[in-house]
Chain A
Amino acid sequence: MAQKLDYLKETPSQTAGPYVHIGCTSNFIGVQGVYDRDLGSEMKTGPVKGQEITITGRVIDGTGTALRDVLVEIWQADAGGLHNSPQETRGKADANFTGWGRCPGHPETGEFRFDTVKPGRVPFGDGRMQAPHVTFWIVARGINIGLHTRMYFADEDAANADDPILSRIEHRNRVATLLASRDGDAAYRFDIVLQGEDETVFFDM
């Protein structure tokens, strides 16, 4: 027998279920008066630096149907590539930009929408710069553990080509699943496919 390692095990995940809104977006679902507003519904708390953009999309299941009970969260750097977080070690982020958004899918269409800014570049562990990206975290009924992916920008060809993660994706035809397309001047479209031929690349990071 060897000595025992005394590390704790991470608490296992369980599905967020169909009623995730009660806890996470209670005003949205009609549980009024407990919280003054739904957390993550506003990412901008004042005038922000950089280009303001919108991100819209849907989360689509293996039959091609949009999830209407999904909850999507995003986390990203500000326009200067800094995170509004005590863990940020490289400088001070834009104080008027939280970097974190949370949006339930629309009850009829499943569509989510974030009013945010285009993120700057953030370094990889070895110091190389990553292409601008937004972290996505997706939970819903039927999803046993939150799905983590990233949205990159289709109009950032040069940065994307050098990105330490994008450039390491073996199946090159899947890179496109991580690229948001321009859908107007400052609007981006990012659909996430859970399963099947166009399945989005999901991360284990």
Chain B
Amino acid sequence: MKAPKPTRPGGYVPRDRTWQPAALTPAYKTSVKRSPQSALLSFPTTPSEETGPVFGHHMLGALDNDLLHNYAAAGESAIGPRIIVRGRVLDEFARPVPGALIEVWQANAGGRYRHKKESYLAALDPNFGGCGRVIAGDAGGYEFRTVQPGPYPWPNGMNDWRPAHIHFSVFGAGFAQRLITQMYFEGDPLIWRCPIVGALPCREAVETLIAPLDMNGTVPFDALCYRFDIVLRGRRQTMFENRREGL
């Protein structure tokens, strides 16, 4: 039987804005003057949003996904609980997003960032830079090694502390999928006290940002594993396209 002619894929499914944080969340004070007040202008995606830059494995250095060592002196290693973070990048139709670029950044085990504007009194670790990156494989899988970051105080309310977290920047296939988020750690009591986490509209949304401990991924006598799957916007397939996955 002759396969139906492939047609141009459809656009990206609109973002569910009731699931995403609002621009204005007054408990997170900086949002007050940085939040647009007018309604967003909604349009279906065009080729400008359906295309996106491509990042090849060739650009990656051998230690890019090893934050324990990518800033450390030879023979040294960052200080703190050794962890592996791994997961998959999927779209809303559960299709893998191979080639997705993930950039991560974080504080060190004491909760201190290596940044000019950082003033927390916790010590810098001379062997920890705090950045890494990885490109998702064919099944959307990714993995990096790091230290578990510490919680830290920040100027918002008089006694606000960020839960331990790792920042993620993600590029999918189309610029419409562009996303920056943060991963939290299972069991951290600070998660539910944080005004930035509190920008999310519901408990279910917060829970999708909490990585569970994954003993199956743990390397005995080496590193604990946390599992963090990432879901990017999905792109519609045309109704009669001859493929099983997706719409």
Name the segment of A29-37, A45-53, A153-161, A182-190 touching the other chain: A29-37
Cβ-defined contact, B209 with A31, below 8 A: no
Given known pairs A62-B33, A137-B178, A205-B176, the reply for A14 and B196 (CB within 8 Å) is yes
A-B pairs with CB below 8 Å: how many? Answer: 270
Asked whether A116 is an interface residue with its Cβ less than 8 Å from the other chain, the reply is no
Contact with A along B1-35 (1 / 0, CB 8 A): 00000001001001111011111010011111111
* Interface residue from A20, A99, A145, A169 paired with B41 (Cβ < 8 Å): A169
Contact with B along A4-35 (1 / 0, CB 8 A): 00111111111111111111101001110111
Asked whether A195 is an interface residue with its Cβ less than 8 Å from the other chain, the reply is yes
Q: B29 to chain A: which residues have CB within 8 Å? A: 142
Q: A150 CB to closest chain B CB, in angstroms?
A: 8
Cβ-defined contact, A205 with B45, below 8 A: yes
Q: B138 to chain A: which residues have CB within 8 Å? A: none
How many residues from B make CB contacts under 8 Å with A? 90
Residue in B closest to A21 when the chains form the complex, CB atoms: B115
* Interface residue from A31, A35, A150 paired with B114 (Cβ < 8 Å): A31
Given known pairs A29-B115, A30-B116, the reply for A205 and B179 (CB within 8 Å) is no
Cβ-defined contact, B129 with A29, below 8 A: no
When chains A and B are docked, how far (Å) is the Cα of A67 from the Cα of B54? Answer: 28
Q: A99 to chain B: which residues have CB within 8 Å? A: 53
Cβ-defined contact, A194 with B94, below 8 A: no
Contact with B along A78-105 (1 / 0, CB 8 A): 0000011111111000000011100000
Asked whether B242 is an interface residue with its Cβ less than 8 Å from the other chain, the reply is no
Cβ-defined contact, A89 with B37, below 8 A: no
Q: A125 to chain B: which residues have CB within 8 Å? A: 11, 44-46
Contact with B along A96-139 (1 / 0, CB 8 A): 00111000000100000000000000111100001001010101
Interface majority SS (helix, strand, loop, mixed), chain A: loop
Band of interface residues on A: 35 or more
Cβ-defined contact, A143 with B34, below 8 A: yes
When chains A and B are docked, how far (Å) is the Cα of A138 from the Cα of B51? Answer: 18
Cβ-defined contact, B48 with A146, below 8 A: no
* Interface residue from A8, A29, A86, A89 paired with B90 (Cβ < 8 Å): A8
Q: B38 CB to closest chain A CB, in angstroms?
A: 6
Asked whether B42 is an interface residue with its Cβ less than 8 Å from the other chain, the reply is yes
Given known pairs A89-B8, A100-B53, A199-B37, the reply for A13 and B180 (CB within 8 Å) is yes
Cβ-defined contact, B21 with A14, below 8 A: yes
Q: Which of A148-172 contact B (CB under 8 A)?
A: 150, 165, 168-169
Name the segment of B78-86, B216-224, B231-239 touching the other chain: B231-239
Asked whether B105 is an interface residue with its Cβ less than 8 Å from the other chain, the reply is yes
Contact with A along B68-93 (1 / 0, CB 8 A): 00110000000000000000001111
Q: B151 CB to closest chain A CB, in angstroms?
A: 14
Given known pairs A13-B179, A31-B114, the reply for A85 and B54 (CB within 8 Å) is yes
Q: A199 to chain B: which residues have CB within 8 Å? A: 36-38
Beyond A20-B105, A23-B130, A205-B46, 6 additional contacts (C-beta under 8 Å) are A7-B234, A9-B92, A10-B92, A14-B200, A125-B45, A130-B48
